[in-house]
Structure 1
Amino acid sequence: MRPVVAGALRPVDGGWRPGSSDLEAVLPHLLWEVAQRGSQVERVIYRLDEWSHAPKQIRVGGDRVHLDGYHRQPRHTVSLLCSDGSRIVMLVVPTSVSGPAARAIMTNAGRAGNAETVQQLLGLTLTDMAPFTDPAVAQQRWDTDGGPQDARRPATDLM
């Protein structure tokens, strides 16, 4: 994780590979690491559909940290709001990524001057992300785009 510079525009500040989708179980270690670098996290903003369990708040080292889940939080990120008003955006590397690949992604995410987006860092394409991977959304798109060409449509002859 690189230091956050006030007013700096950046997609992410560092990378994190949690051991599970249970935010309550994995978050204390991340918050401890951030505290070791001099930032006290007061609030964590996460994407609701990426975590299996997350309470409204947790205690870390005697301090209460509020957890807020949103559907519009960018995918594969958590935002850490600190007591000094700074925000640290962490790339969340999926547990399905191999160890060596995860380390390379996290190294690149935390590199000074990094301007890569989350999608670039994870090597994602549009077809790797919802709505392209959601079968219900794909079916709806198929239906609204005309669906299958079949005999239900009236035949037309052109002369």
Structure 2
Amino acid sequence: MATVLKPLPPQPVARLRLAPRSPFPRPIDGAWWPRSRDLLVELPLLIGALPAAWGQIAGITVNSAMWFSGPGRMLVEGHVVRLHRTEGSHGRHTICLISPGHGRWDLLVVPPEVDAGDAEPLMAAAAAATAR
């Protein structure tokens, strides 16, 4: 009797929209719409979807009010990523990604419970944000 192997379910893809490359800094570099508030699940998907030109992300700053608690660092794609948390309403719906020698990027975070009809226009607007 032959064993039938079932294919593994596909990995979810990060819901991410990035602004076009620009030599000028932007207030927001794009938008990310995670599926949950669990950074341990969501960050590997986000980091895996980033352009190679952004380099290796070493630090991420998030607002504590937006996310479930988690560790101060985690292993993502074979390297350590340090997680920094901020308090208060400033930056509640953003995430800051740091890549030493490559730069800093700030993404609008669309809360996971927002429906697609509302999330898509927010993401498109963030990806079209003009330079500072």
Judging changes above 3 Å, is the alpha-carbon distance between structure 1 residues 55 and 6 closer, same or farther for their aligned structure 2 residues?
A: farther
Poorly superposed stretches of 4+, deviation over 6 Å: none
Unaligned 5+ runs, structure 2? 1-17
Q: Which has the larger radius of gyration?
A: 1
1:1-159 equivalence runs, <5 A: 1-3=18-20, 5=22, 8=25, 10-34=26-50, 36-39=51-54, 40-72=56-88, 74-111=91-128, 113=130
What TM-score comes out, normalization by structure 1 length?
0.63
| Equivalent residues, number | 113
1:26 and 1:111 map into 2 onto residues whose CA distance is 24
Give the strand-richer structure, 1 or 2: 2
Structure with larger RCO (C-alpha < 8 A, sep 6+): 2
8 Å CA contact 2:28, 2:129 repeated in 1: no
Aligned residue for 2:53, secondary structure, equals coil
Aligned residue for 1:38, secondary structure, equals helix
| CA RMSD of superposed structures (Å) | 2.1
1:23 Cα deviation from its structure 2 partner = 1.1
Give the helix-richer structure, 1 or 2: 1
8 Å CA contact 1:2, 1:14 repeated in 2: yes
What TM-score comes out, normalization by structure 2 length?
0.75
